[in-house]
Chain A
Amino acid sequence: MHFSQKTNTGFTLVEIIIVVFLFGAMLVGLLSIFEWQQKIYTVEMAEIRVTSDARSVISNINTFMAQGIEVVASRIIEGTEYTTGGGTVIVRLPVIVSGGDVLADQFDYVVFHRDGTFLKQIIEAHPSSIRDSGIRELSSSVHNFSLNFNSGNLPAVNRVDVAITNRAYYRGDKFIDFSLSHSIFLRNN
Chain B
Amino acid sequence: MNQSKQSGNVLLIAIVFMAILLTMSGSLWGYTHLQVKSSHQSVARSQALSLAEAGIDHAVAQLNSNPNYTGETNTSLESGSFVTTVETIDAQTKTITSVGTAIHRNIESTRTVKANVGIDTNQISFRYGVQVGTGGFVMSGGSQINGNVYSNGNISATTGVVITGSAVAANPPALTADQANDSPTPISSCTASTCITYGNATATQDFAQSFSPSIAAPMNNIQFYMRKQGNPGNATVRIVADNAGNPSTTQFMSGTLTASNVTSTFGWITVTMPTTPVLDPSQTYWIVLDGNSNSSNYYVMGANENGYANGTAKVGRYSASWSNTTPANLDGYFRVYLGGGTSMIGGNNYVTGVFVGTSATDEAWANHVQGATVSGPLYCQTSSHTNKACNTSRSNPPPQPMPLSENNILDWKNEAEAGGVTTGNVNVGWAGATIGPRKITGNLTVNGGGTLVVAGTLWIEGNISLSGGGKIVLSPSYGPHSGAIVTDGYVSLAGGSDFAGSGTPGSYPFLITTSACPVAVGCNGNDAISLSGGAGTVALIAQNGNVLINGGSSLRAVTAKQITMTGGATLVYDAGLVSDVFSSGPGGSWTIIKGSYIILD
Interface residues of A (CB under 8 A from B): 7, 19, 22-23, 26-27, 30, 33-34, 37, 40-41, 44-45, 48, 51-52, 55-56, 59, 62-63, 66-67, 69-70, 92, 94, 96, 100, 102, 104, 151-153, 155-156, 187-189
- A156 in contact with B229 (CB, 8 Å): yes
List residues of chain A with CB within 8 A of the CB of B197. Answer: 153, 155-156
Q: Is the interface of A mostly helix, strand, loop or mixed?
A: helix
B11 → chain A closest CB, angstroms: 10
Given A59-B42, A151-B190, A188-B596, 8 other A-B contacts at CB below 8 A? A23-B13, A30-B17, A48-B35, A67-B597, A92-B295, A153-B195, A155-B295, A188-B595
Q: Which of A19, A34, A66, A94 contacts B596 (CB 8 A)?
A: A94
List residues of chain B with CB within 8 A of the CB of A48. Answer: 31-32, 35
- B39 in contact with A33 (CB, 8 Å): no
- A33 in contact with B598 (CB, 8 Å): no
Answer whether A152 and B229 are a contact pair too, CB < 8 Å, given A44-B32, A59-B45.
no
What are 13 A-B pairs at a CB distance below 8 A?
A34-B24, A37-B28, A40-B28, A41-B24, A48-B31, A59-B45, A59-B46, A69-B594, A69-B595, A100-B114, A153-B190, A155-B200, A155-B229
Q: Which of B10, B200, B598 contacts A23 (CB 8 A)?
A: B10
A175 → chain B closest CB, angstroms: 19
B192 close to chain A: CB less than 8 A: yes
B195 → chain A closest CB, angstroms: 6
B38 close to chain A: CB less than 8 A: yes
Q: Which of B39, B115, B596, B597 contacts A55 (CB 8 A)?
A: B39
- A151 in contact with B189 (CB, 8 Å): yes
- B597 in contact with A187 (CB, 8 Å): yes
* A44 to chain B: closest residue by CB: B32
Complexed CA–CA distance, A188 and B538 (Å): 36
- A63 in contact with B594 (CB, 8 Å): no
* A22 to chain B: closest residue by CB: B10
- B295 in contact with A52 (CB, 8 Å): no
Q: Which of B25, B43, B115 contacts A187 (CB 8 A)?
A: B115
* B600 to chain A: closest residue by CB: A100
- B195 in contact with A44 (CB, 8 Å): no
List residues of chain B with CB within 8 A of the CB of A70. Answer: 295-296
Complexed CA–CA distance, A63 and B598 (Å): 9
B520 close to chain A: CB less than 8 A: no
Count how many pairs of residues, one from A and one from B, have CB atoms less than 8 Å apart in the complex: 109
Complexed CA–CA distance, A48 and B38 (Å): 10
List residues of chain B with CB within 8 A of the CB of A40. Answer: 28
Q: 9 nearest interchain CB pairs?
A: A187-B597, A153-B190, A48-B35, A30-B17, A152-B191, A188-B597, A55-B42, A94-B595, A188-B595
* B45 to chain A: closest residue by CB: A59
Complexed CA–CA distance, A152 and B598 (Å): 26
A162 → chain B closest CB, angstroms: 13
- A37 in contact with B21 (CB, 8 Å): yes
List residues of chain A with CB within 8 A of the CB of B195. Answer: 153
Complexed CA–CA distance, A107 and B101 (Å): 29
Interface residues of B in 102-126 (CB under 8 A from A): 114-115
Complexed CA–CA distance, A67 and B600 (Å): 10
- B42 in contact with A156 (CB, 8 Å): no
B228 → chain A closest CB, angstroms: 11
B121 → chain A closest CB, angstroms: 16
List residues of chain B with CB within 8 A of the CB of A33. Answer: 21
- A189 in contact with B600 (CB, 8 Å): no
Complexed CA–CA distance, A152 and B189 (Å): 8
List residues of chain A with CB within 8 A of the CB of B32. Answer: 44, 48
List residues of chain B with CB within 8 A of the CB of A7. Answer: 1-2
B298 close to chain A: CB less than 8 A: yes
B53 close to chain A: CB less than 8 A: yes
A68 → chain B closest CB, angstroms: 9
List residues of chain A with CB within 8 A of the CB of B46. Answer: 59, 62
Q: What mask results when residues 287 to 317 of chain B are scored 1 for a CB within 8 Å of chain A, else 0? A: 0000000011010100000000000000000
Complexed CA–CA distance, A3 and B231 (Å): 111
A119 → chain B closest CB, angstroms: 16
Complexed CA–CA distance, A153 and B190 (Å): 6
Complexed CA–CA distance, A62 and B49 (Å): 10
Complexed CA–CA distance, A41 and B29 (Å): 9
B7 → chain A closest CB, angstroms: 11
B599 close to chain A: CB less than 8 A: yes
Q: Which of A51, A62, A67, A155 has the most CB of B within 10 A?
A: A155
B592 close to chain A: CB less than 8 A: yes
Complexed CA–CA distance, A22 and B596 (Å): 75
- B25 in contact with A152 (CB, 8 Å): no
B575 close to chain A: CB less than 8 A: no
- B21 in contact with A30 (CB, 8 Å): yes
Complexed CA–CA distance, A23 and B17 (Å): 12
Q: What mask results when residues 583 to 601 of chain B are scored 1 for a CB within 8 Å of chain A, else 0? A: 0000000001011111110
- A30 in contact with B14 (CB, 8 Å): yes
Answer whether A41 and B28 are a contact pair too, CB < 8 Å, given A70-B296, A155-B229, A188-B596.
yes
A42 → chain B closest CB, angstroms: 10
Q: Which of B1, B17, B38, B592 contacts A52 (CB 8 A)?
A: B38
List residues of chain B with CB within 8 A of the CB of A30. Answer: 14, 17-18, 21
A91 → chain B closest CB, angstroms: 12
List residues of chain A with CB within 8 A of the CB of B21. Answer: 30, 33-34, 37
List residues of chain A with CB within 8 A of the CB of B20. Answer: 34
List residues of chain B with CB within 8 A of the CB of A102. Answer: 595-596, 598
List residues of chain B with CB within 8 A of the CB of A69. Answer: 295-296, 594-595
B60 → chain A closest CB, angstroms: 11
List residues of chain B with CB within 8 A of the CB of A19. Answer: 10
Answer whether A37 and B25 are a contact pair too, CB < 8 Å, given A155-B200, A156-B190.
yes
Complexed CA–CA distance, A117 and B381 (Å): 78
A9 → chain B closest CB, angstroms: 8
